[in-house]
Structure 1
């Protein structure tokens, strides 16, 4: 990788600033606020442990939720996150309820080698005296400079915010001598970047979700690079409408029909669309359903790909060497319309095992599907970034990655 990585740094005795993605859900139990899901904390542990095990002093920080008022600050402190990190590390974690000032500076200066400190939610900088000023979110130059002054080097392990230029990633990186990628960031660059820029062929992209407008740039970018692009989910009905099919009450975007028609004409057999649907008479798991081929009857809507589409997509994936999957094939949250999405997940596990294919999954519903199937550990990489992975697949330069030092 052309970027500086955590293993390129000599962290011993150094104050190591570490931007992580601890934007985790919280819950209240017996009057105490706790972390409801610690997956993102667990994902950052290898980088944090590396710094501690090599004698560094880890200064860990993250945003948590959106801060638009002083009330939000009361609800979204990093304190319970720091407590959960201490549990996972099996050692004390110093928590400082401040994002700047003498208390924070003294606590960082007082760290010994192998110790870790978490400071308060970086988004607290977005509200000052009740006024929304977005110092963090708009990369205030003085704030980035100040945070950089608190440490000797910087590790960015927060891929989930890499598509944003914030004070806590780009601001720090541009004001410090060494800015490196943590293990999680390095993995995202290796797999997502590798899939887009230098994939093994055949390269198949699977794009699902509700709207063509959300994913159009991804589809256009991947049509230039992939051997096949499979489109499923709600967006497929915009393509069906473009082909002249009746789509009943199915979700579609009328203003994107001409664009869909153009993509169909230009891409030839590279674009693979569903050939049937599970159509329902209402948006409900217990709706009356039938398998629709071609047109969908009035009063019905497509809520999942049908059995012939599943077989078609599996045949396209059969010899794949690289697969990128983002977005569900249907209304995945309803069991009766999750079968297409789950079938894709099972096929990805199969091509990973049988072909030695590189299989990369991004997006909340796709990730939920492979976790529900219990196959997440059988795939090559589950991306931790929602918007960041989407923009990477669109071929955009992500400021959080661009700001990491070159080797």
Structure 2
């Protein structure tokens, strides 16, 4: 661990620039519909206040591409932010306003700078813009792991100009990922699912060299099965990636990583809720009709996954094992998630999950609170799992990327 946490910083009487991710969904009236990301920054902000510091929040909202767009103003997030923090929060509408605080801003407990991506210098990591931002504070605290894969002024530029540390959420993310993949308790395994292999090639190539067991599910499992010779009819798959799938299996064999593919599946002729289905064995000899498709792993596959989980000490989860959005094709995802959650609660397993579909699937299974850690970071979570260096983390360690 080459980075510092808030425990290593003296923030008393200091202005603390805190990079946060409060890029939350809003409805047509501008009301926040899911405040999860806001809730997760509360410990960092409260900690800074408790230690006598003044938090100045830096955040983005949407993709304004360096232009001021009123429909992407952080003013929409302000009511929810005030509610969750239970503190007085003032929005600084311009950078000039941040440089010359009004009396109201000086008296507020927390300051929020308007959408940082309104400024062209943010995404280009312009050195001069970074200097202007750094001049607003005495200490820099990055609490936005979800933006750590971006080399922007507010994620890397400032970190090289001020004493820098990780916030509580960033600290929790980095510690969880280190325990899952950096120095895990072995045996370590992973569930990787989702629709396409093409979006997770780098992830799979990295994991097979670091895991003891890899369970592949979802539409991407169809591509691997197709690569072994199975004819899966109308099932979602990517035939142009058969060679890559075979290469990944070969890499896994050389590295001593066991790859588990579905042994059976729920096969239907319609992609719809409650569509009639039958359970069919899945292997190189499988021959489905032209209009049949595999929409979920079957009961034998769940049993195999259960046995695999019982042999693991650490598991990483990214992606569903089937078309979890519609019943009954959520069966394997829900069943496997509950197995992992139960073993985690029993203290037998460290479980770390991440990715948008993953979080939704675990919430549907009702076990999100039972995993050791769930990351909402999305792209940054995937890039970390791919073995890539994240600029925002490297900057906290004093490294350039």
1:293 corresponds in structure 2 to 281
User: In structure 2, what is the Cα distance between the partners aligned to 1:203 and 1:403?
Assistant: 29
Alignment of 1:321-340 (within 5 A): 321-340=313-332
User: Is the counterpart of residue 255 in structure 1 residue 252 in structure 2?
Assistant: no
Task: Please say if residues 164 and 399 of structure 1, whose CA atoms lie closer than 8 Å, have aligned partners that are also in contact.
Answer: yes
2:250 corresponds in structure 1 to 265
User: Is the counterpart of residue 189 in structure 1 residue 165 in structure 2?
Assistant: no
1:6 corresponds in structure 2 to 6
Could you tell which deviates more after superposition, 225-234 or 372-381? 372-381
Return the offset for 1:266.
3.9
Secondary structure (helix, strand or coil) at the match of 2:4 reads coil
1:36 corresponds in structure 2 to 33
User: In structure 1, what is the Cα distance between the partners aligned to 2:2 and 2:251?
Assistant: 35
User: In structure 2, what is the Cα distance between the partners aligned to 1:199 and 1:208?
Assistant: 21
Aligned length: 392
Task: Please say if residues 66 and 119 of structure 2, whose CA atoms lie closer than 8 Å, have aligned partners that are also in contact.
Answer: no
Return the offset for 1:327.
0.4
Return the offset for 1:108.
8.0
Secondary structure (helix, strand or coil) at the match of 1:234 reads helix
TM-score between the two structures when normalised by the length of structure 1: 0.92
User: In structure 2, what is the Cα distance between the partners aligned to 1:108 and 1:202?
Assistant: 57
User: In structure 2, what is the Cα distance between the partners aligned to 1:403 and 1:172?
Assistant: 9
User: In structure 2, what is the Cα distance between the partners aligned to 1:15 and 1:109?
Assistant: 16
User: In structure 2, what is the Cα distance between the partners aligned to 1:246 and 1:93?
Assistant: 59
2:155 corresponds in structure 1 to 169
Secondary structure (helix, strand or coil) at the match of 1:118 reads strand
User: In structure 2, what is the Cα distance between the partners aligned to 1:356 and 1:81?
Assistant: 40
Could you tell which deviates more after superposition, 267-276 or 242-251? 267-276
User: In structure 1, what is the Cα distance between the partners aligned to 2:353 and 2:109?
Assistant: 34
1:21 corresponds in structure 2 to 21
Could you tell which deviates more after superposition, 16-25 or 365-374? 365-374
Structure 1: segments with no counterpart, 5+ residues: 127-134
Q: 1:69 to 1:287 in 2, by over 3 A?
A: farther
Task: Please say if residues 52 and 114 of structure 1, whose CA atoms lie closer than 8 Å, have aligned partners that are also in contact.
Answer: no
Q: 1:67 aligns with which of 64, 85, 89?
A: 64
Task: Please say if residues 178 and 184 of structure 2, whose CA atoms lie closer than 8 Å, have aligned partners that are also in contact.
Answer: no
Q: 2:366 aligns with which of 356, 371, 374?
A: 374
Q: 1:114 to 1:79 in 2, by over 3 A?
A: closer
Secondary structure (helix, strand or coil) at the match of 1:123 reads helix
Structure 2: segments with no counterpart, 5+ residues: none
Q: 2:48 aligns with which of 28, 48, 51?
A: 51
Secondary structure (helix, strand or coil) at the match of 2:393 reads helix
Return the offset for 1:112.
5.5
Secondary structure (helix, strand or coil) at the match of 1:336 reads coil
User: In structure 2, what is the Cα distance between the partners aligned to 1:195 and 1:366?
Assistant: 16
2:77 corresponds in structure 1 to 81
Q: 1:221 aligns with which of 206, 224, 229?
A: 206
Secondary structure (helix, strand or coil) at the match of 2:328 reads helix
Encode CA deviations 1:231-288: one digit per residue, 9 max, x unaligned: 0010001111111011101111122101112222342461111111111212222433
User: In structure 1, what is the Cα distance between the partners aligned to 2:228 and 2:42?
Assistant: 49
Secondary structure (helix, strand or coil) at the match of 2:208 reads helix
1:313 corresponds in structure 2 to 305
User: In structure 1, what is the Cα distance between the partners aligned to 2:107 and 2:182?
Assistant: 39
1:303 corresponds in structure 2 to 295
User: In structure 2, what is the Cα distance between the partners aligned to 1:174 and 1:112?
Assistant: 26
Task: Please say if residues 193 and 392 of structure 1, whose CA atoms lie closer than 8 Å, have aligned partners that are also in contact.
Answer: no
Runs of 4+ in 1 over 6 A off after TM superposition: none
User: Is the counterpart of residue 245 in structure 1 residue 241 in structure 2?
Assistant: no
Q: 1:97 aligns with which of 85, 93, 98?
A: 93
Encode CA deviations 1:131-183: one digit per residue, 9 max, x unaligned: xxxx322212221121111100100000111111011111111222x111001
TM-score between the two structures when normalised by the length of structure 2: 0.93
1:399 corresponds in structure 2 to 391
